[in-house]
Amino acid sequence: MRRVIFNQKGGVGKSTIACNLAAISAIDDKKTLVIDLDVQGNSTHYLLGQAIADAESTLAGFFKESLSVSLFGKTQNRGLESFIHATRWPNLYVIPAHPELEPLQSRLESRYKIFKLREALDSLQGFEHVYIDTPAALNFYSRTALIAAKRCLIPFDCDAFSRDALHNLLATIAEIKADHNAELTIEGIIVNQFQARANLPLQLVNGLIEEGLPVLNTKISPSVKVRESHSESQPLIHYAPDHRLTEEFLALHLELHS
């Protein structure tokens, strides 16, 4: 299953959610791939512990090859498997981001390469779960992720600005579904940074439910353990397997796969 984690607002936990769900899938003996489409490379750092210096072995290399055309037609491009890096954990792999993604964007848009990731994933064999991390913007990379995915998870971080932006985000997803990807469905809204004893988060979440929006039952609490696990480049299932936050991610994974 291909899932995209998408929200145009920054700081809502897209990389944290993508990497922790992927790590749990891998623990569950499912061969799992994370695709890091965010030029900041947070998922890359989280899973590999470092940036990848060689742009040609990252998503930047993949997209560069999609732009390569010879005098006699398209050159032979490598398959997506050529850009996959193994993490230190069994069954868990990542296609890294790279800063060169940023200057490539205008060329990719002008040459209409928006379907290249989906075509490459359609040809990729062996992965049971794919999680696509996206930038905090509606740009070429987030659009190509929404076109490539089957399901969309929307992180929601319990503030009034996020609620105001949510309807625009839903409209964007609906438009991409109508125009480019009829298979795309919103799997659910993930409530992140949820404080159960605070009034505002409860009011906001209840308001979303009353609107009939697909709010998932499992909610993710705020915790310093997230920042610690980022610093150690270890998803929570490995860094703090008995922590309450890890249990919440396990419950979220179970909810998505039940």
Q: Which of 11, 12, 22, 1 is nearest to 156 (CA)?
A: 12
User: Do 38 and 141 meet the contact criterion of CB atoms below 8 Å apart?
Assistant: yes
In this predicted structure, which of 11-25, 66-80, 242-256 has the lowest mean pLDDT?
A: 66-80
What are the φ and ψ backbone dihedral angles of 79, each rounded to 5 degrees? Answer: -75, 165
Mean pLDDT of all residues belonging to the chain: 93
Portion of the chain with pLDDT greater than 70, in percent: 97
β-partners of residue 189 are: 154, 215
Two structure tokens written together for 161 = 């600005």
pLDDT tens digits, residue range 54-96?
Answer: 999 999 999 999 998 644 455 567 889 999 999 999 999 999 9
Can you list the domains of the chain with their CATH numbers? 2-257 (3.40.50.300)
Name the amino acid, one letter, at 177: K
Cα–Cα distance for residue pair 245/236, rounded to 1 Å? 8
Q: What is the largest CA-CA distance in the chain?
A: 65
**Contact assessment for residue 56 and residue 83, using Cβ atoms and an 8 Å cutoff:** no
Residue 192, pLDDT above cutoff 80 = yes
- What's the pLDDT score for residue 120? 97
Q: Contact 179/216 with Cβ under 8 angstroms? A: no
CA distances from 117 to 36, 150, 172, 242 (A): 12, 13, 19, 36
Mean pLDDT across the stretch 175-184?
97
**Does residue 167 register a pLDDT over 50?**
yes
